[in-house]
Structure 1
Amino acid sequence: MISDAPDAPSLSAPASGRFAAGEHRFPLRVYFEDTDLSGLVYHANYLRYMERARSDMLRIAGIGQRAALEEGEGVYAVTDLHIRYRRPARLDDDLTVVSRVADVSAATCSIQQTVMRGEEILTQGDVSVAFLTPQGRPRRQPKPWTDIFSRLMRGEDIHP
């Protein structure tokens, strides 16, 4: 029987990112399904990569989006997005999405994200989200969440 080493992630757990100096680093690999006919990553898939990285960042930072949704407290919605494509990624490339909190207010948060291949910048995005009630109206984020975002902006690491 195969067992996991103490304090090691489960062998069946999905890939997860980690924090370093307040930045979240999320690893991923380019699969065939991510590419277009030219063998390059289809442009919209960079948005998927960034979304996965943001969701992972929030989850491991202790921001319970699912609980907030299920309890009727609210959800995040993207309100603004700017993306710059610099170089293409290709099939089998190992990439890292680096995310860092750029700004936080009572109801919003801005996150800068960079998709990298090694040290090479491929794509950069600036994403702003607002916390909304289930009816779609802006509302204050939970105070513990804004505290987490503020710590990340100061470069502090968050450990689960």
Structure 2
Amino acid sequence: MTQTAHDVLMGQIEGKRHIYPLVVFYEDTDAGGIVYHANYLAFAERARSAMLNLLGFTNRNVAERHKVAIAVRHCTVDFRRAAQLEDRLTVESRVIKLGGASLGFEQKIMRDGDELVVIEIYLACMSLEELRAQRLPEELRTVFSRYLDVNKD
């Protein structure tokens, strides 16, 4: 299968994992050239959105078609090492939980194979009209079930 330029920007699926490349830009860092802690969550969000896109969806079309949004419910962040200006990083994402109205991901932000930050994040599917939990749309459940990976590395 040939990847389009757009697909290349979205990373790639390898087995049950999504690999998203990124470069640390000046805007991502503090005055010392170290990635600001909150930006790791932004990197992870970008990677999850890119994965969704590669799987044939966007946040916008999910909202329009199903009248739902996927919102962060809970996350833990384990900061192990710092990333710096101009580092080339990857965000490795895998689905670790698939519930009735929820998804869980483990995301590792890595540099040259070294884990810098490990994020465990749980998302809830919410009705846009009532702002209450709602079952994941069946087409999303079907796609994400193909990538469910409960094995610990």
TM-score by length of 2: 0.90
Q: Name the counterpart of 1:140.
A: 135
**Alignment partners' CA distance in 1, 2:7 and 2:65:** 26
Matched, 1:52 2:46: yes
The offset of 1:14, in angstroms, is: 7.3
CA RMSD of aligned residues (A): 1.9
Q: Which structure has the greater CA radius of gyration?
A: 1
The offset of 1:80, in angstroms, is: 0.3
Q: Which amino acid in structure 2 is aligned with residue 109 of structure 1? A: L
Matched, 1:119 2:106: no
The offset of 1:30, in angstroms, is: 0.4
Q: Contact 2:16/2:147 (CA < 8 Å) preserved in 1?
A: yes
Q: Among residues 90, 94, 99, which one is paired with 2:93 in the alignment?
A: 99
Structure 1, unmatched stretches of 5+, are 1-6, 156-160
Q: Which moved more, 1:72-81 or 1:26-35?
A: 72-81
Q: Name the counterpart of 1:33.
A: 27
TM-score by length of 1: 0.86
Q: Which moved more, 1:23-32 or 1:140-149?
A: 140-149
Moved over 6 A (4+): none
Q: Secondary structure at the match of 1:152?
A: coil
Structure 2, unmatched stretches of 5+, are none
Q: Which amino acid in structure 2 is aligned with residue 33 of structure 1? A: E
Q: Name the counterpart of 1:74.
A: 68
How many residue pairs get aligned? The number is 149
Distance change (3 Å), C-alpha of 1:14 and 1:22: closer
Q: Among residues 105, 123, 128, which one is paired with 2:122 in the alignment?
A: 128
Percent identity of paired positions between Structure 1 and Structure 2: 35
**Alignment partners' CA distance in 2, 1:61 and 1:152:** 10
